[in-house]
Structure 1
């Protein structure tokens, strides 16, 4: 089983690991693209005004330019610890047990606009690059879409739970040959109708991901995942369109 998470715009500073080592990252077939994109971003960061305009950053986020300029020399930490924000606060990776962290390292992937598909334990620096960043040609979609899809294709025998946003799905669609389910977090309104959540869907995704990681269960198929959810208080169901719904 793979659990695929989106990244977060916000990230922790620092890290106890050494400088970025592409050989230490999962999915080594992405190394060439990672190197090329890292060089592009670092070069662009030498012109702060240009980088801020392309990333649509205000003055309060000017420090992000320096993060991008020093990508190759900054300290690293595990990706699941690096990212912050609502989803990652709910996942709370730093508080996971050693056994749960080991499970996450094997079964959780994070889809980064800069590095492509990462393992949860991969050591990365802090950076700023969103899925809609305009870096010129090639675009992020051209850079990543086919390459990331091929990485998913290599897991076609596994259940894939896709917790990404639509913008990151576009940067690496999961092939039809891989049994995958896009998770949509919904709530029930006063009229009884189910509606998708926006901001608070991130908390639901993070909470579910943590529960799966803590249980350490490698679900063989979606039916087993739904049955576990019912027994553990996570209300999962399949929608007619094939999406997996999480009712909160």
Structure 2
């Protein structure tokens, strides 16, 4: 099983001390050249006036964008400690039991726009870079990742089920193709509003975090889309629906508390 999650928009503040990111220590050495290119291009853009707007971010994030300039010396933290927000609060990695935490570390990958796919325990630094950003001389970040991720992600997925909790811009960089698509499950979240089922956004992040947690806590490792749906159905009403591309949607009802937030 491979569980794909998006990074959170907000990141934890940099650690006060510690070693910086070691690109050579990150998984998938074939991605190191692109990581280097992105780091260099991001630092250059972030040092210029109006950098936040050029990256497609709010001007109010200027101080956080300015930190991109020193990412090579910023102390690194575990990815699960860098990413914050409702999805990661729902996953609550710190409270997982020993077995569930080990499964999470083996199966969850965060699709970072800067670092690529990283496991919860991989050491990275907080940054500001959306997947939709356009970097000088490199083009869009998504297109750069799309060009190199195929072999890496295919190897990560193996012949197991792929559960996709990423948002659309992050999901655009890779999904299984051909026969492997039959083991692909994209999580969609619905809430009932005024008698109508509606796709939700904020509650979707919360629910996708819960789905990741439930799969990590399952008695047995889910190996098929049907098994994934069975695990989630123990917690929330859900339905497995063909996605028209050979894979599946897992349509999950948002918990009532999450649909209000």
**Are the equivalent residues in 2 in contact too, given 1:25–1:119 (CA < 8 A)?**
no
Is the Cα–Cα contact under 8 Å of residues 27 and 118 in structure 1 kept in the other structure? no
| CA distance in 2 between partners of 1:190 and 1:61 (Å) | 36
Q: With structure 2 as the length reference, what TM-score do the two structures score? A: 0.86
**Equivalent residue for 1:166?**
168
- On the 8 A contact 2:215/2:232 being kept in 1, the answer is no
The alignment partner of 1:218 has SS state of coil
Partner of 2:190: 186
Write out the 4+ residue segments of structure 1 that deviate beyond 6 Å after TM superposition.
none
> Superposition pairs for residues 112-127 of structure 1, below 5 Å?
112-127=112-127
What is the distance in 2 between the residues matched to 1:247 and 1:55? Answer: 34
Q: CA deviation at 1:93?
A: 2.1
Contact 2:8–2:85, Cα closer than 8 Å, also in 1 = yes
Q: Which moved more, 1:128-137 or 1:49-58?
A: 49-58
1:222 aligns to what?
Answer: 225
Match for residue 237 of structure 2 among 219, 226, 235: 235
Is the 8 Å Cα contact of residues 149 and 175 (structure 1) preserved in structure 2? no
Q: Which residue of structure 1 lines up, in the alignment, with residue 73 of structure 2?
A: 73
1:143 aligns with 2:149: no
Residues 79-138 of structure 1: per-residue CA shift (max 9 Å, x gap): 122111111121122333343332211000000111121122110001000111121333
TM-score, normalised to structure 1, is 0.90
Indicate conservation of the 8 Å contact 1:152/1:175, yes or no: no
User: Residues 1-248 of structure 1: matches in 2 within 5 Å?
Assistant: 1-15=1-15, 17-47=18-48, 49-136=49-136, 137-154=138-155, 155-178=157-180, 179-191=183-195, 193-215=196-218, 217-230=220-233, 232-241=234-243, 242-248=248-254
- Alpha-carbon contact 1:79-1:124 (below 8 Å) kept: yes
Structure 1: gaps of 5 or more residues:
none
User: In structure 1, what is the Cα distance between the partners aligned to 2:237 and 2:30?
Assistant: 37
User: How many residue pairs get matched?
Assistant: 245
Structure 2 spans left out of the alignment, 5+ residues: 255-261
Q: Following TM superposition, by how much is the alpha carbon of 1:40 offset from its aligned partner in structure 2, in angstroms? A: 1.0
Alpha-carbon separation, structure 1, partners of 2:220 and 2:121 = 18
Cα shift at 1:203: 0.7
